């Protein structure tokens, strides 16, 4: 199972190495051509070309996370006679190699290839396609595949392409990376057993927001349930729930199942973030949910049976049930149904968190799957 998971994750991780914005390297030999791959003895750009061809070296290509490719030329790039120019030099980009098309990209790390798709999409020089150097814009390719190699800690991308009579080489440097989206984690707390007032709000405080006091107010979703979704970096994160900023807070003594084990004199909740998650509903100042007998604090009756169960779970409520959702102990959704019955026969035996949404709010409890 672990090997399968790694195999599924590997392509995404490798694609991320290419995501970002690239420009031709500001160096001699960033453009070159020769008889064989890696051999640019026929011609390569000189230091002087960095100035005379500055309109080409300042073009940027962005590979977005959604597979979209953007080619930005700022209205000025290197055009050649075959494109209709009077002489090779800087000028207005010529369609379809003008960056105005709809382009996509893909990177195959196993094969060592980068493919750009869309009429006129290209890397390096517009005339170079697989197996040829075109001499007319009407001969533009709709897809080009380059042999690709990453180096310099994934900051340099070297592309080689066989044009039939030899090989061109284009060397790019990454100028910006696309930020990796942070996992979205929903924190949830039940204030049913809290004896003070929550009129001034319940707050989430932790390492993700610098223990900021009242800057992360939670939302009262129903009855005594408060929730907040925030972006959290991957890895262990300490946090706790507070009332009215820091007017009141959870007080753990250490050794509780949900409390960190760092010997720093503070006892906070801890959660190891591995991806998007909805955390199990817990009672204020407790690692578990508030004691329940099937009656919510606002007097609404909700019953879940059988519990433990082997296959089906039935929910009855004094209000119409909208949905039943089941989460594992790390907050991943594992089952859902928009009715009052949920089939869990396919799940492994263990402890889960069952969330019932009904007309008046949300009810949460522990479910044991045999």
155-207 residue pLDDT tens: 999 999 999 999 999 999 999 877 667 899 999 999 988 989 999 999 999 99
Q: Do domains 184-283 and 302-369 have the same CATH topology?
A: yes
Q: For residue 110, what is the enclosing H or E element? A: none
Task: Dump pLDDT digits (tens) for 52-89.
Answer: 999 999 999 999 988 999 999 989 999 999 999 999 99
CATH number for the domain whose boundaries are 184-283: 2.60.40.10
pLDDT given at position 173: 96
DSSP H helical ranges for 34-170: 49-52, 54-57
Is the CATH code 2.60.40 the one for domain 11-176? no
> Span 302-369: which CATH code?
2.60.40.10
CB-CB contact of 236 with 270 (8 Å):
yes
Assess whether pLDDT exceeds 50 at residue 9: no
Locate the domains of the chain by residue range.
11-176, 184-283, 302-369
Question: Rounded to whole angstroms, how far apart are CA atoms 187 and 179?
Answer: 24
Per-residue pLDDT at 331: 65
- Could you tell me if 85 and 97 are in contact, meaning their C-beta atoms sit under 8 angstroms apart? no
pTM, 2 dp = 0.51
Work out the end-to-end distance of the chain between its first and last CA atoms, rounded to an integer number of angstroms.
Answer: 22
Q: Can you tell me whether residue 161 is helix, strand or coil?
A: strand
Q: Check residue 259 and report its DSSP letter.
A: B
Peptide bond into 308 cis (omega under 30): yes
- Cα separations (Å) of 209 from 214, 217, 234, 359? 10, 11, 14, 33
Paired sense of beta strands 103-108 and 113-117, if any: antiparallel
């Amino acid at each position: 199972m672990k090997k399968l998971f790694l195999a599924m994750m590997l392509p995404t991780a490798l694609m991320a190495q290419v995501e970002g914005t690239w420009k031709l390297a500001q160096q001699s030999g960033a453009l070159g051509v020769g008889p064989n791959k890696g051999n640019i003895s026929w011609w390569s750009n000189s230091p002087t070309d960095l100035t005379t061809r500055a309109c080409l070296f300042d073009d940027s290509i962005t590979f977005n996370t959604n597979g979209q490719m953007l080619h930005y030329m700022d209205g000025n790039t290197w055009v050649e006679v075959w494109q209709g120019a009077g002489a090779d030099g800087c000028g207005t980009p010529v369609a379809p190699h003008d960056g105005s098309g709809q382009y996509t990209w893909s990177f195959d790390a196993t094969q060592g290839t980068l493919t750009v798709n869309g009429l006129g999409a290209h890397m390096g020089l517009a005339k170079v396609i697989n197996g040829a150097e075109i001499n007319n814009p009407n001969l533009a390719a709709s897809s080009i595949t380059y042999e690709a190699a990453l180096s310099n800690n994934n900051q340099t991308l070297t592309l080689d392409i066989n044009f039939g009579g030899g090989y061109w080489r284009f060397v790019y440097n990454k100028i910006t990376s696309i930020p990796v989206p942070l996992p979205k984690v929903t924190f949830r707390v039940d204030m049913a057993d809290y004896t003070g007032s929550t009129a001034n709000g319940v707050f989430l405080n932790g390492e993700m927001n610098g223990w900021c006091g009242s800057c992360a107010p939670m939302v009262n979703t129903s009855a005594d349930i408060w929730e907040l979704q925030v972006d959290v970096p991957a890895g262990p994160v300490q946090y706790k729930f507070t009332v009215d900023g820091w007017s009141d807070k959870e007080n753990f003594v250490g050794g509780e199942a949900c409390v960190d084990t760092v010997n720093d004199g503070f006892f906070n909740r801890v959660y190891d973030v591995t991806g998007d998650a909805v955390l199990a509903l817990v009672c204020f100042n407790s690692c578990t949910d508030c004691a329940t007998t099937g009656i919510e604090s606002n007097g609404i009756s909700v019953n879940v049976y059988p519990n433990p169960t082997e296959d089906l779970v039935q929910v009855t409520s004094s209000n119409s049930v909208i949905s039943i959702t089941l989460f594992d102990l790390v907050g991943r959704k594992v089952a859902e149904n928009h009715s009052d019955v949920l089939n869990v026969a396919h799940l492994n035996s263990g402890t889960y968190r069952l969330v019932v949404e009904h007309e008046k709010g949300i009810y949460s409890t522990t479910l044991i799957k045999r």
